Structure 1
Amino acid sequence: MTIKVGDTAPNFSLPAQNGSTVSLQDFRGKKAVVLYFYPKDDTPGCTAESCAFRDQYEVFKSAGAEVIGVSGDSKDSHQRFATKYNLPFILLSDQGNKVRKEYGATAAFGLFPGRVTYVIDQEGIVRYVFDSMLNFQGHVEEALKTLQQLAVK
């Protein structure tokens, strides 16, 4: 299954780096969500992408959105990663990649987990999907652009 623009984002509940359980449903009617799937904590590309989201986090918050990163790493790995790079947002542990597969955020050739960002509005509708393994900054730029366009409507 691949989630596309216009689809309702599937709900999920996963453990966060602080030990709490976070559900997508928690944000429905309250905030937009920028949900980004990334391959692995503390690798060069994932660090660049996560730090780019960190550097723009206040802009995302001002736009009424929460940033949530998801990978197959453990919550302990996420905690170390978040602490090392001062990541202020939620990182969720999708061990077994069940949620990743449900969203269709898998990579070409199945070699690495995909790097895909979904912009989900307050009503839970997917408004944008950005899929690029190498354009780390593009995930942040395109998500912000989409949120700004949603705010104009």
Structure 2
Amino acid sequence: MEIGQEAPDFEAESSKGNVKLSSYRGKKVILYFYPKSFTPGCTREMERFSEIYDQIKENNAEVIGVSVDSISTQKKFAEKYGNKFPVVSDKEKRICEVYGVLNEKGTSAQRITFIIDEKGKIIEILKKLKKAEEHADKALEIIKTKR
């Protein structure tokens, strides 16, 4: 995927029921992929997105997390850390494949964040940041500045 491309639509089960990306048109979407629930980096990343979630909402945006974990794992992960946004189970790896985020072995997602505008176009891609939780802060900065 590249900046300027339309974000591929998907529908999947999440910790908060079914999620369909195109249903968020009219809002920006922070779509972040992470390797594995309950690992230190992924936990810090989700917690940081939750901490700044109200600011994200104030900027007409939504957050969706995606990993290849099962839906039961995603629900437990979200519940344990009081998550405020949906985390999607991509057990079949269809979403990860379409977005090109699977790791070299094809076993899990890489830590990559897509910022999608109100019309469904990718306006920024974040990867290889030093700390997992930086994805949340950088994403917030982007949605605040790109109008």
TM-score, normalised via structure 1 length? 0.89
Runs of 4+ in 1 over 4 A off after TM superposition: 108-112
Give the residue type in structure 1 aligned to 2:21: L
State how 1:74-153 maps to structure 2 within 5 Å.
Answer: 74-107=70-103, 112-132=108-128, 134-151=130-147
Pairwise CA distance, 1:31: 1.1
Aligned to 1:67: 63
Unaligned residue ranges in structure 2 (runs of 5+): none
Give the residue type in structure 1 aligned to 2:37: D
Identity of aligned residues (%): 35
SS at match of 1:136: coil
Aligned to 2:9: 11
| CA distance in structure 1 between the aligned counterparts of 2:42 and 2:61, rounded to whole angstroms | 21
Aligned to 2:18: 21
State how 1:34-73 maps to structure 2 within 5 Å.
Answer: 34-73=30-69
SS at match of 1:77: helix
Aligned length: 147
Pairwise CA distance, 1:137: 2.4
Pairwise CA distance, 1:132: 2.3
Unaligned residue ranges in structure 1 (runs of 5+): none
| CA distance in structure 1 between the aligned counterparts of 2:107 and 2:19, rounded to whole angstroms | 28
Give the residue type in structure 2 aligned to 1:5: I
Give the residue type in structure 2 aligned to 1:115: R
Is the 8 Å Cα contact of residues 45 and 134 (structure 1) preserved in structure 2?
Answer: no
Give the residue type in structure 1 aligned to 2:63: V
